[in-house]
């Protein structure tokens, strides 16, 4: 089922574009005390750009971009789009990979021009015994400390480069989080990205609690764990990998700019993808309840 009615026909709810699944949703807004926010695409724009290429000693920058770009061209991930776009601009036409595989929450792998290529979290490369040399490890640390995401590139058994991508925080996120706090909710940032990058984004928008490096199937477990601690949880997300967590949450809110899977799993849809609408939805529902009583 899809959300059917506007939270309120006129006024702020309609203006901000808030869709509600049904009247029973209102009740769950009363007791929520924690709001879990997905990072990429919810707190941030989710449109990444490639800001750095760090080849290991002796590796060729264009070859790194060509092989990584070819592989990422086959993926829909925001990181993949950024890498493929930059690679195509730099080296022109990209070869078509064979045996392409997406390793959810970790990266991609496949054969490009006869090379077995891996692009993703350093952990994914480590699974193939490709460990980052010291100079690449430093590039990763520098990028992460600045709130950026670093992914490693390896082929034929060796780590060859680090790519750095940057996302921007939505201009409305900090204000939205302040309003959620004003409603008595504690914000928690949840992401598959690394801890340092997540901390940098959290600091920028005013969130203290960060749960990072969570695999896609782990997001629902995080919501369950918070509930087991006695917290009543609202979850805001946009991705396919947020759907199970949105369904598990006491109140699930989907970004209307996100995937159909997230929207279908949620109780409320924020049509314009503006996080301030999350605070407004909770405020309006509570007020509606107060009026009915």
Q: For ligand ADP, which is the closer residue by CB, 39 or 54?
A: 39
Asked if 41 is part of the footprint of Mg ion (rule: CB under 5 A), the reply reads: yes
Residue 273 CB contacts under 8 Å (≥ 6 apart), including other chains: 170, 238, 255, 256, 257, 258
Half-sphere exposure of 33 (CA within 13 A, CB side): 7
The window from 23-31, 104-112, 131-139, 278-286 that contacts ligand ADP (CB under 6 A) reads 104-112
User: Site residues for Mg ion, window 86-115 (CB under 5 A)?
Assistant: none
Q: Which of 49, 216, 227, 232 binds ligand ADP (CB under 6 A)?
A: 216
Q: For Mg ion, which is the closer residue by CB, 13 or 252?
A: 252
List the single partner that 167 binds among ligand ADP, Mg ion, none, CB under 5 to 8 Å by kind.
none
d(CA 68, CA 149): 16
Token digits of residue 210 = 């960060």
> Which CB contacts under 8 angstroms, 24+ apart, belong to 195-201?
195/144, 196/141, 196/144, 196/145, 196/147, 197/143, 197/144, 197/147, 197/148, 197/149, 198/39, 199/147, 200/144, 200/145, 200/146, 200/147, 201/39, 201/43, 201/44, 201/147, 201/169
The window from 115-123, 174-182, 255-263, 277-285 that contacts ligand ADP (CB under 6 A) reads 115-123
User: Site residues for Mg ion, window 42-81 (CB under 5 A)?
Assistant: none
The window from 59-67, 84-92, 116-124, 170-178 that contacts ligand ADP (CB under 6 A) reads 116-124
Instruction: Show which residues are catalytic.
Output: 38
| Contact mark string toward ligand ADP, 28..47, x via CB under 6 A | -----------xx-------
d(CA 181, CA 275): 13
Least distance between ligand ADP and beta carbon 182 (Å):
26
Least distance between Mg ion and beta carbon 127 (Å):
23
- Could you list the residues that contact ligand ADP (CB under 6 A)? 39-40, 72, 75, 77, 79-80, 105-108, 119-121, 149, 151, 191-193, 216, 239, 241
């Amino acid at each position: 089922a899809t959300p059917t009615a506007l939270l309120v026909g006129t006024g702020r709810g309609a203006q901000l574009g808030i869709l509600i699944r049904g009247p029973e949703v209102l009740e769950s807004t009363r007791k929520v005390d924690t709001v879990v926010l997905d990072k990429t695409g919810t707190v941030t724009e989710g449109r990444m750009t490639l800001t750095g290429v760090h080849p290991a000693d002796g590796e060729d920058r264009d070859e790194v971009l060509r092989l990584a770009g070819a592989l990422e061209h086959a993926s829909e991930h925001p990181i993949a789009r950024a890498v493929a776009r930059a690679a195509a601009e730099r080296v022109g036409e990209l070869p078509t990979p064979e045996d392409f595989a997406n390793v959810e929450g970790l990266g991609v792998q496949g054969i490009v021009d006869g090379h077995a290529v891996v692009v993703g979290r350093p952990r994914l490369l480590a699974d193939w015994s490709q460990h980052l040399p010291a100079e690449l490890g430093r590039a990763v640390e520098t990028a992460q400390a600045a709130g950026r995401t670093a992914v490693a590139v390896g082929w034929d058994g060796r780590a060859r480069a680090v790519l750095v991508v940057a996302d921007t925080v939505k201009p409305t996120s900090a204000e939205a989080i302040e309003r959620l706090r004003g409603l008595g909710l504690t914000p928690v940032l949840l992401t598959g990205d690394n801890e340092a990058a997540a901390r940098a984004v959290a600091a920028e928008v005013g969130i203290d609690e960060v749960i990072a490096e969570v695999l896609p199937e782990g997001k629902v477990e995080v919501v369950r764990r918070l509930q087991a601690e006695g917290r009543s949880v609202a979850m805001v997300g946009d991705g396919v990998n947020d759907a199970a967590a949105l369904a598990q949450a006491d109140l699930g809110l989907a970004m209307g700019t996100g995937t159909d899977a997230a929207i279908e799993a949620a109780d409320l849809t924020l049509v314009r993808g503006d996080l301030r609408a999350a605070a407004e939805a909770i405020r309006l529902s509570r007020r509606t309840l107060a009026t009915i009583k």
